[in-house]
Amino acid sequence: MKTIKAIQSEIDSIDNLIFENAKLPEERQFSEKKYKSLNKKQSTLRTILEYLKTNPSEEFLKNDADRLMKLIKSKEDYYPTWLKSVEASRIEVDKQKSHYEGLFNLKHYRTLLKTTKYLLSD
Q: Which residues 6+ apart lie within 8 Å of 110 measured at CB?
A: 72
Q: What are the pLDDT digits (tens) for 72-98?
A: 999 999 999 988 887 778 888 888 899
Structural domain that includes position 68:
56-122
| Same domain, yes or no: 79 and 97 | yes
CB neighbour list of residue 101: distance below 8 Å, 6 or more residues apart: 107
| pTM of the predicted protein model | 0.82
Diameter of the chain by CA atoms? Answer: 58
Q: Are residues 61 and 10 in the same domain?
A: no
Which pLDDT tens digit goes with each residue over 17-44? 888 887 778 777 888 898 899 999 999 9
For the chain, how many structural domains are there in total? 2
Q: 32 and 84: one domain?
A: no
